Amino acid sequence: MRESEEKYRSIFNNAQVGIFRSRISDGKILESNHRMALMHGYTNRREFIDKFVSSEHFIEPKQRKKMLASFRRGRLKGFEAHVIRKDGSIVWVLLSARIFPKKGYLEGVMVDITDRKKAEAALRESEKKYWTLFETMVQGVVYHAADGTIISANPFARRILGLSFKRAQGKISAGHRKAIHEDGSDFPGENHPSMVALKTGKKVQDVVMGVFSPSRKKYVWLNVTAIPQFKAEESRPCQVYTIFRDITERKQAEEEIRALSLTDDLTGLHNRRAFFVLGKQQLRIARRARKKIFLFYADVDDLKRINDRFGHQTGDAALIDAAAILRKTFRESDIIARIGGDEFVVLITDATIKNKEVLLKRLQKNLAVYDLQAERKYKLHLSAGVAFCNSQHSYSLDNLIARADQLMYVQKGEKAGTCLPDESRQITA
């Protein structure tokens, strides 16, 4: 008997959960183990028993009433509540107990679930942020089950594809919309990026496809990436999510370019026509995305003197050299064009004032290096002006060119390489 009592007492004192006995009437603790005391902020078990009254430590009195109501069935299991510890901090607990009405007390165990509750709250917040992003992002996102049916699609995707949420769910990606390749040939459903990703288990990236949109009554061009997802220790995807961008405007601009001769024969740059086709499209995109735009306008100084003194072949070489320097100075994403005899323009998007200054210094450096290395009878000089436009301006390309042209002529007259009054820095090399 003594041995059994000792075993019970050892388990009671060393258990990793709180064990207690309390009076039904007021919640006064009659007995508890050390873990129960620690859980409530007491290092001394006897102090906890003497001072702690559970009815005084429930944050919401309704919780205790609800708990007591559950005891009418004789047992409480998995009841969650938050209580106040000795130092005033809050702890979430999971309580299970059995009531002994005739004896006037209840016995139970209590587990600290504070960390779990914090993790659940963090997960809910994370899910909230995810759904906010999912619902508001300006890219289409579609989730597909393992059989290819659509599980969910964000508003942007539904708008592009011309589907309501109800109509989108349960559709199979491979067959719910007619699709074509860039050359106009059919794009079979089994070859759609989502279906290929499900079949191979590999990411399918940057596939261009045309999907017919009933709302627009024409094909919408998309750049699609499909990414498979897996459950732990499984080799086949459990689902795939597809991200796509609407590139219809870009494709239309490319079609216009293909339909026209838009390359400057001498320098290989875009010609004036190409610049306006691409530039207008880029201006629209920049305004929607609230990006800044700079228009760089330059001409070759003294080109007439070079032609008169050394011949037009040498003048052509100067223009070719100027085009090469501009290519070296600006980014591939910038639109560089020769729009007149000695006139060049560059449309720079998503740039800052700092980026502009870096580009202008790079141009100065490239001109200087070119003059040192080239064996010519003349030195290459450019005069330039830079006009600025943000998403709040309604300037057209013609407006920007006119402003940059004016600024260039101010610089051409001053030849000082200093900042103009409001928006432009001139270049002389």
Tell me the pLDDT tens digit for each residue of 370-411: 888 767 778 888 988 898 887 676 778 999 999 999 988 888
Mean pLDDT along residues 29-54? 87
- Give the end of a domain, one of 226, 246, 266: 246
Whether residues 240 and 256 fall in one domain: no
Whether 422 is covered by a domain: the verdict is no
Query: Can you read off the two tokens belonging to residue 342?
Result: 């000695």
Whether residues 260 and 228 fall in one domain: no
Q: Output the pLDDT for position 377.
A: 78
Separation between Cα atoms, residue 403 and residue 394, nearest integer Å: 14
Lateral strand order in the sheet of 105-112: 29-32, 18-23, 105-112, 90-100, 75-84
Whether residues 403 and 318 fall in one domain: yes
Which has the minimum average pLDDT: 36-45, 160-169, 235-244, 308-317?
Answer: 160-169
Separation between Cα atoms, residue 47 and residue 34, nearest integer Å: 11
Closest C-alpha among 100, 99, 67 to residue 83: 67
Whether residues 185 and 218 fall in one domain: yes
**What residue numbers bound the domain in which 10 lies?**
2-114
- Give the end of a domain, one of 246, 271, 292: 246
Q: Is the pLDDT of residue 56 over 80?
A: no
Specify the pTM: 0.43
Q: Is the pLDDT of residue 349 over 90?
A: no
Whether residues 272 and 364 fall in one domain: yes
Whether residues 177 and 106 fall in one domain: no
| Cα dist from 345 to 269, 275, 297, whole Å | 10, 8, 5
Whether residues 217 and 297 fall in one domain: no
Separation between Cα atoms, residue 278 and residue 272, nearest integer Å: 10
Which has the minimum average pLDDT: 94-98, 197-201, 222-226, 351-355?
Answer: 351-355
The number of distinct structural domains making up the chain is: 3
- Give the end of a domain, one of 246, 265, 288: 246
Whether 11 is covered by a domain: the verdict is yes
DSSP code of residue 326: H
Whether residues 374 and 287 fall in one domain: yes
Whether residues 179 and 76 fall in one domain: no
Give the count of beta carbons closer than 10 Å to the beta carbon of residue 97. 20
Which has the minimum average pLDDT: 59-73, 226-240, 267-281?
Answer: 59-73
Whether residues 83 and 232 fall in one domain: no
